[in-house]
Amino acid sequence: MSEFLQHLINMLVLGGTYALLGIGLTLIFGIMNVVNFTHGVLYTFGAYIMFIVVQQLGLNFFLALPVAVLAGWLLGAAIELTLLRPLRGSDIDTTMLVMIGAWIAMQSGTLWIWGGVAKSVATPFPEAPLVLGPVSVSWLRLFVLAAAAMLILVTYLLINKTSLGRAMRATFQDHDTASLMGVNVDMIYTSTFAIGSSLAAAAGALLGPVYVIFPQMGDLAAVKAFAIVILGGLGNITGAVIGGFILALAEELGAGYVSSGYRDAMGFLIIIAVLIFRPTGLFARAERVG
Amino acid sequence: MTRALGLVPAIALATALFGGAAAAQTIKIGVNEPLTGAFAASGTYVVNGAKIAADEINAKGGILGKKIELVIEDNKSNPTEAAAVAEKLITSDKVPVLMGAWGSSLTLAVMPKLMEYETPMVVETSSSGKITTTGNPFIFRISPPSAIEAAAFKNIVDKLALKKVDFLVINNDWGRGTAEDFSKMMKDKGITIGLVETMDQGAQDMSAQLSKIKSSDSETVIVTTAVDQLTLIFKQAAALGLKKRIITTGGSQNPDQIIAQAGAAANGTMHLTTFLPWFPDKTPNPEATNYFIAEWKKRGFDFAGCTESFRGYDGIRTVAAAIEKAGKAEPAAIKAALWNINIKGLNGDIVFRKSGPEGKESGQSQPNVYLIEINEGKIEMKTL
């Protein structure tokens, strides 16, 4: 029983960051319809910003987090302005190829700047874990869960309760009508991509100190983010959050009770199952086609 | 203007010719190591150790009157890349001999290429038994296979009063091979084997496996993986309140790095290593060990890397000794000469003995294995 409780606690902590990765990608992949291969690199980028600010500049850990989010926002905006804007209206394959190129170039860039050897970031949290009866959890991971929950809430409110969010939803439902209604469509494209990117950077900044930081760390994260988005239904924020927790649960229980060798295969098994039984995702709204 | 432009290809040609002539003055040694990916830290240390050996040899005038030149390629911690890189080194760089490829799965992927191109390779780190038992006569290994580690560990299991043991190993030839060899030895000693958990080489979160191990009734966990994953395991085990004795194998732990990154969580852990940089006087070749450590520090490298980098140092010295003995830098001659060398390695004499099926034996030297314990942040040697 205590093992099961421990798995549940691990699932909560892991799920929070998966959800953060998922909502960032669902904004870009689901709502904007861009197959964003740079999502994992933005995740890596956020982690390296933490490394620069905390380890190299010696500044405060909590200050580094908003810096990483802002840096992710700026890099995302730059990608949208330089790569995606000229390609708007071109077919999905062209965009996909350009994004694959951007992914490879940026990953090689991180390798070139920081080298392949993993870096770690010191945190202000105590080493001794919080012990609750039979289960224990590190303070750092609790903080990560709380920060992820806050970011998810902010994103949810931004999309559903603000005029920017309304303009975003309008733009991606019907680009021309939104434009006729006075929405600055160009600005909406850039900010949506930037927000999605900043969430990926935030996830990397939060998880970098938990694990270690290296140039390829984003690859597996990106694959998981795609799994979460497909699981939750394209463009569905609530779906992405729940999808993140389902993936974490499947990995924890899969590793704990089935076979630890297949832990990272769980995400793919889920994608296959979802595509067979509910191709639009678990939480997709009924959608008009065509 | 036209005439000036015409000069450019002429200069380029001359440079190429001259460059080619300069290259012929060196003896190339191919180095196939993971410089990126899951084993980047370890592979980089090995390459830095190899460079110390090359510089030392060249400072003394090189071999056969020529300088040696390391052609270093990154196998990206990926078996497919390791094989591709080996092919590139042999066919395009024309190296007569290789050193590599750090991980067992990486080395196993390179082995068919060695057969294809009949080029020998000195294996400096890999510990899967399969490498020297499948009948590849181009393999010369200076690192201990996991069966040698298990045999060395055998003498201390009674003193440690092991009763039930779990395993947490990297999910590749190295990890699975170690679990197999150690389980066999322990079963013979009457020790019960509990869980055998695996983790992907790139996995960063081992909490699920550790939670499972925490709930088992064993008192000891044997962990096999490289340093980056090990430090994560120590941190995550501490966060889960896992209170079992942890023993690591494989010699790629860099204990100082574990102390630095895992702090108090490292206390009481034991590690099977293949080098003793903390006690140079207890190594088989103190003079060389002291020289190597001094040179390592002089170059500004992290002391923690010594337990890994010495392999690259020994590997290149092994290759150089064979080329010297062969009298020419050709694959077949080097392969024959490797059987006849006897050099003082940092971890014992490097003399190759035959291993594997008759007629196509691989070479295996008999390095030492040590057990150390981390106690209050200090490294202590245990007698095996």
With an 8 Å Cβ cutoff, is B75 touching chain A? no
At B258, the pLDDT band (50, 70, 90 cuts) reads: confident
Q: Give the pLDDT confidence score for residue A90 in this predicted structure.
A: 85
Q: Give the pLDDT confidence score for residue A196 in this predicted structure.
A: 93
Count of CB atoms within 10 A of residue B267's CB? 14
CATH of the domain at B50: 3.40.50.2300
- B44 and B157 housed in the same domain: no
Cβ neighbors of B205 (< 8 A, separation 6 or more) are A14, A211, B232, B236
Asked if pLDDT for residue B73 goes beyond 80, the answer is: yes
Which residue reads 């790139």 in tokens? B202
Contact B125, B315 (CB under 8 A): no
Q: Give the pLDDT confidence score for residue B298 in this predicted structure.
A: 94
Nearest CA in chain B to A265: B200
Q: Is residue B379 part of a domain?
A: no
pLDDT per residue as tens digits for the range A8-23: 988 998 899 899 999 9
Residue B262 has, within 13 A of its CA and on its CB side, a CA count of 28
A contact residues 7-36, partner B, Cβ 8 Å cutoff: 7, 10, 14
Q: Is residue A285 part of a domain?
A: no
Domain span including residue A58: 2-277
**Among the ranges A116-125, B21-30, B96-105, B245-254, which has the highest mean pLDDT value?**
B96-105
**Closest residue to B215, CB basis, from A2, A120, A129:** A2
Q: Is residue B331 part of a domain?
A: yes
With an 8 Å Cβ cutoff, is A166 touching chain B? no
Domain span including residue B249: 147-273
pLDDT per residue as tens digits for the range B192-212: 999 999 998 888 889 889 999
Q: Give the pLDDT confidence score for residue B262 in this predicted structure.
A: 74
Nearest CA in chain A to B76: A116
Q: Is residue A287 part of a domain?
A: no
Q: Give the pLDDT confidence score for residue B203 in this predicted structure.
A: 86
**What is the DSSP track for B271-333?**
EEES--TT-GGGSS-HHHHHHHHHHHHHTT--GGGHHHHHHHHHHHHHHHHHHHHHSS--HHH
**Closest residue to B211, CB basis, from A10, A118, A129:** A10
- B112 and B188 housed in the same domain: no
- B156 and B140 housed in the same domain: no
- B112 and B232 housed in the same domain: no
The more confidently predicted of residues B241 and B166 is B166
CA B265 vs CA A14, A132, B212, B262: distances in Å: 22, 19, 19, 5
The more confidently predicted of residues B339 and B10 is B339
- B109 and B25 housed in the same domain: yes
Asked if pLDDT for residue B18 goes beyond 60, the answer is: no
Q: Is residue B369 part of a domain?
A: no
CATH of the domain at A75: 1.10.3470
- B53 and B134 housed in the same domain: yes
With an 8 Å Cβ cutoff, is A108 touching chain B? no
At B21, the pLDDT band (50, 70, 90 cuts) reads: very low
Q: Give the pLDDT confidence score for residue B290 in this predicted structure.
A: 93
- Across chain B, mean pLDDT equals 89
Which residue reads 């395993």 in tokens? B167
- B156 and B107 housed in the same domain: no
Q: Is residue A192 part of a domain?
A: yes
Q: Is residue A155 part of a domain?
A: yes
Q: Give the pLDDT confidence score for residue A271 in this predicted structure.
A: 79
**Domains: count for chain B:** 2
Q: Is residue A290 part of a domain?
A: no
Q: Give the pLDDT confidence score for residue B20 in this predicted structure.
A: 45
Q: Give the pLDDT confidence score for residue A102 in this predicted structure.
A: 94
Contact B346, B367 (CB under 8 A): no
% of chain B beyond a pLDDT of 70: 93
- B319 and B349 housed in the same domain: yes
Tell me which residues of chain A have a pLDDT lower than 50.
289-290
Q: Give the pLDDT confidence score for residue B1 in this predicted structure.
A: 43
With an 8 Å Cβ cutoff, is B228 touching chain A? yes
Q: Is residue B279 part of a domain?
A: no
Closest-CA distance of chain A to residue B282, Å: 31
Nearest CA in chain B to A129: B239
**Closest residue to B197, CB basis, from A111, A131, A260:** A260
Q: Is residue A283 part of a domain?
A: no
Q: Give the pLDDT confidence score for residue B25 in this predicted structure.
A: 83
Cβ neighbors of A283 (< 8 A, separation 6 or more) are A232, A233, A236, A238, A239, A242, A243
The more confidently predicted of residues A279 and B297 is B297
Q: Is residue A50 part of a domain?
A: yes
**Domains: count for chain A:** 1
Closest-CA distance of chain A to residue B13, Å: 31
Q: Give the pLDDT confidence score for residue B7 in this predicted structure.
A: 52
**Closest residue to A6, CB basis, from B37, B240, B264:** B240
